[in-house]
Structure 1
Amino acid sequence: QQRVFLARALAQEADLYFMDEPLAGVDAATERAIMAVLRDLKAEGKSVICVHHDLQTLRTYFDEVVLLNMRVVASGPVATTATQENLVRTYGGRLTLLSEAAEAVARAELGE
């Protein structure tokens, strides 16, 4: 179903795309295919804004991030914004990060 929604959005040939969790509920192969399409859009000069809750793939898939918790907690480049401190401020004490291991797994899945 996500592929259908993505195809419908792409048919609009817009300059700006808003996507609500385009990777939710898809298998790993479909996730990689969707991300390849989003990277192609970026290469064409298009803007893509995605709602994404998977912190394990955040650094792998996205360049910029806006962290929200009823308000903007932080925004900017993923590398400098998705810090332990900002993520704890966003998610409170309910967050356990295994970032290095998660990033290694994500890179391996992408074949990097």
Structure 2
Amino acid sequence: MARFQDQTLEEILIMLGELTPLEQTRAYREIVAKNQPIWLEEGRQEGRQREAQRVALRLLRRRLGSLSKAQQARVQALSVDQLEDLIEALLDFSAAADLETWLNAHSTPQPRE
């Protein structure tokens, strides 16, 4: 307000309303352009993570039947690389105990329900 001592509040509000929207400023466009590759890569990683979780859980359910919430949570907590290893390993699973053994060897145990 000190910058605009000669203007009324109404004049200042009118002036502020005439400002360029943030999305149309050069600074905003530069920030988006600079960060877009980072955001895209983060999005790709999140997509890979979700897809690997989905595939692993689907194959585990088909191989072993229903999973407990704790087992699902432990699978969802795995990294993409761990999920890919699990997907390969589950081809040799024949019982839920095989999944527990694999999870205990490859992940941090989750608290029991």
TM-score after normalising by structure 2: 0.24
TM-score after normalising by structure 1: 0.25
- Structure with greater proportional helix content: 2
- Greater Rg, structure 1 or structure 2? 2
